[in-house]
Amino acid sequence: MNILGRHPEPPPWLYNLLARGPLARRIYRRLVADLAPGLPPGARVLDVGTGPGYLLGYLAQERQDVQLWGLDLDYRMVRLARRKKHPPGPIPEWVVGDALALPFGDAVFDRVVASFSLHIWPDPQGGLKELRRLLKPGGRAWIYEMKRETGARALRAFSREEGLPFPLVYLSFKSASWGHSLGARDLTAALGQAGEGNWRLDTVHHLFWRGELAKRS
Ligand SMILES: C[S@@+](CC[C@H](N)C(=O)[O-])C[C@H]1O[C@@H](n2cnc3c(N)ncnc32)[C@H](O)[C@@H]1O
């Protein structure tokens, strides 16, 4: 059973449509602002549960020097990612695969990312161990999830910073996070079991958790 239990997932075509909306676009940009600056030159980056691949698209615009892989369990998501028009920059390699049995050797990535996907995995701890297995020494896995504890004050700060109307942000976040957001306790338990002492949990951009697993150099 996943962390949240059963909950509805939008079909890929609908997710793809939502992912192009003004709020989603800003969310991807925020995640990329968190992710891009710390990547070593030429970094090998894997996005697990990439969906239609927008996060990697925005990352490719920021960091032309990196090598990108996007993996998803659902071949329809991977097909959407492949067919999408790509901005100038590195073109990701798209792969169908399971977070719980990743089709890569040990210690091959500098950074592994999973945005809004871990809460769906049937065995989050097992998936996190897989992410960690793929990390080179000194590498990091970053797991982004919507923060269940987010209140009106955080949503107001986000809407102000992004120049979006507060009611739009409030209603969109609350409906998107219903059944899809995680509490600190959920993530702490999963990271603690998979992280062998090398993990941390931070809030980023008011609305999101960033769970980190690190592999020692
Ligand atoms: C909410 S979408 C997030 C997509 C993308 N990361 C984003 O930020 O837009 C969750 C994605 O996780 C994928 N997924 C669910 N279980 C998975 C698994 N076990 N292995 C790989 N991908 C998985 C789903 O197919 C879906 O595309």
In order of 35, 61, 124, 215, the CA distances from 43 in angstroms are 12, 14, 25, 15
Distance of CA 145 to the CA centre of its chain: 7
Tell the residue number behind the tokens 């504890």, with chain if given: 149
Type of residue numbered 42: G
- The minimum-distance atom of ligand 1 relative to the CA of 12 is 27
Query: CA 166, CA 158: separation in Å to the nearest integer?
Result: 9
pLDDT in tens, the chain (217 residues): 566 655 678 899 999 999 998 899 999 999 999 999 999 999 999 999 999 999 999 999 999 999 999 999 999 999 999 999 888 889 999 999 999 999 999 999 999 999 999 999 999 999 999 999 999 999 999 999 999 999 999 999 999 999 999 999 999 999 888 889 999 999 999 999 887 889 999 999 999 999 999 998 8
pTM: 0.95
Domain ranges of the chain: 12-150+181-214
CATH number of the domain at 12-150+181-214, please? 3.40.50.150
Provide residues with CB under 6 Å of ligand 1: 19, 48-51, 54-55, 72-74, 77, 98-100, 115-117, 120-121
Distance from the CA of 186 to the center of ligand 1, in angstroms?
A: 18
